[in-house]
Amino acid sequence: MKVGVADTTFARVNMGAIAINELKRHASVAIERTTVPGFKDLPVACKKLIEERGCDIVIALGMPGGQEKDKLCAHEASQGLMLAQLMTNHHIIEVFVHEDEAGDDQELAWLAERRTREHAENAVNLVLRPEVLTRMAGTGQRQGFKDAGPARQ
C-alpha cells in the first residue's frame, strides 16, 4: 500500500510530519509526500499523488484561517478534493483544522496533532482493515475533540 500525504506551508503546524509518524505506527506502508503553498492547491496535489505517484489513498492536510473568506476558500478546496476523489476513484481523507476551532495556539497545535493522527489511522483502516471502520459505524467518532458517542434511543 502507498499513502500520499499532501500538506501546506500555510498551516501553522507540520501536519505532514505528524501524519507520516502516525502512518508508520499503524502499518508498513510506502509514503509519498508533497507540500504546496495553501489548501486550495491540495486538490491537484492529491490527484497527482494518485495518478502520477501511484498512491492508493491520500491524506490532505490544511489549516484554514479564522476569517470568513478563509471558510469560503476551505469550502472551495473541499469541493475540489471531492471532485478529485470522483475523478480518480480513490479516497482522499480531508484533514482541515480551522484556526478558530481553538482558543489559543497550544490548543490549536494539540487539535492539529490529534485530528491528523486519528485520520492517518482512518486512512490505514480504510484501505487495509475496512472491517475496523465497519465495527465503529454509528458510534459518533470525531477526529480531534471528544467523540460524540451514539445517539440515545
Question: What are 16-57's pLDDT values in tens digits?
Answer: 999 999 999 999 999 999 999 999 999 999 999 999 999 999
User: Global pTM?
Assistant: 0.94
Q: Which CATH superfamily is domain 2-135 in?
A: Lumazine/riboflavin synthase (3.40.50.960)
Task: Give dist(CA 89, CA 127) in Å, integer.
Answer: 13
pLDDT band (50, 70, 90) for residue 146? confident
Pairing status of strand 2-8 against strand 57-62: parallel
DSSP annotation of 150 reads P
Q: pLDDT tens, 68-92?
A: 999 999 999 999 999 999 999 999 9
**Which has the closest alpha carbon to 18: 117, 115, 107?**
117
Q: Chain-wide mean pLDDT for the chain? A: 96
